[in-house]
């Protein structure tokens, strides 16, 4: 019993020492406590994913007047295109593309991060004999793509200079 506890403790110690973190956790700028998320109706699924990720990283979602930063989701699109067609002229592979345009403003409306975009592309094999299963697989892939875009947006926040006397738009080198 004691050996198992010591082994688990040692494994946890090694994992934290090597810099391993739970998926989705990001080191955000010191002092970043509150964010307002301004999203379009087209970006509601991405907005919810981004909200969950921010809360998981200890950031409070608040109203624009009390938020340190405002993340504006300007545009979000998901698209699917044919990549390969089989001998029987039926689709055998699709490519999914998700693209988000966003910007970040400070509490006074000054632009900290000008409009930027994030894109994720994934392809998957399409089985004509399992159309319902393929539809479900596509939805799972799109969910993962939204999560990846949200993580990319949050990672970009990590490099923002939030000091009060800093120039309005600068990313730290």
Is position 33 within any domain?
A: yes
Domain count, the chain: 1
Residue 112: CATH number of its domain: 3.30.160.150
- Segments forming the whole domain that contains residue 58: 29-157
Is position 24 within any domain?
A: no
103 alpha-carbon distance from chain centroid: 14
Is position 10 within any domain?
A: no
Is position 43 within any domain?
A: yes
Residues 97-136 have pLDDT tens digits of: 999 999 999 888 899 999 999 999 999 988 877 777 888 9
Residues 20-59 have pLDDT tens digits of: 444 556 667 677 889 999 987 678 889 999 999 999 888 9
Using CA atoms of 11, 12, 13, 16 in order, give the dihedral in degrees to the nearest 10. Answer: 120
């Amino acid at each position: 019993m004691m050996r198992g506890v010591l082994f688990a403790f040692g494994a946890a110690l090694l994992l934290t020492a090597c810099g391993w973190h739970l998926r989705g956790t990001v080191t955000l700028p010191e002092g970043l406590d509150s964010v307002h998320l301004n999203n379009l109706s087209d970006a509601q699924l991405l907005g919810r994913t981004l909200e969950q990720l921010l809360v998981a990283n200890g950031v409070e979602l608040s109203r624009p007047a009390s938020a340190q930063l405002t993340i504006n989701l300007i545009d979000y699109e998901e698209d699917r295109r044919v990549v390969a067609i089989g001998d029987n002229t039926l689709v055998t592979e699709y490519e999914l593309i998700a693209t988000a345009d966003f910007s970040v403003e400070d509490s006074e409306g000054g632009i900290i991060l000008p409009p930027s975009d994030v894109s994720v592309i994934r392809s998957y094999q399409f089985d004509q004999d399992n159309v319902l299963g393929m539809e479900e697989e596509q939805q799972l892939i799109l969910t993962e793509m939204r999560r990846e875009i949200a993580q990319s947006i949050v990672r970009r926040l990590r490099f923002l200079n939030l000091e009060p006397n800093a120039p309005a738009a600068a990313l730290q080198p």
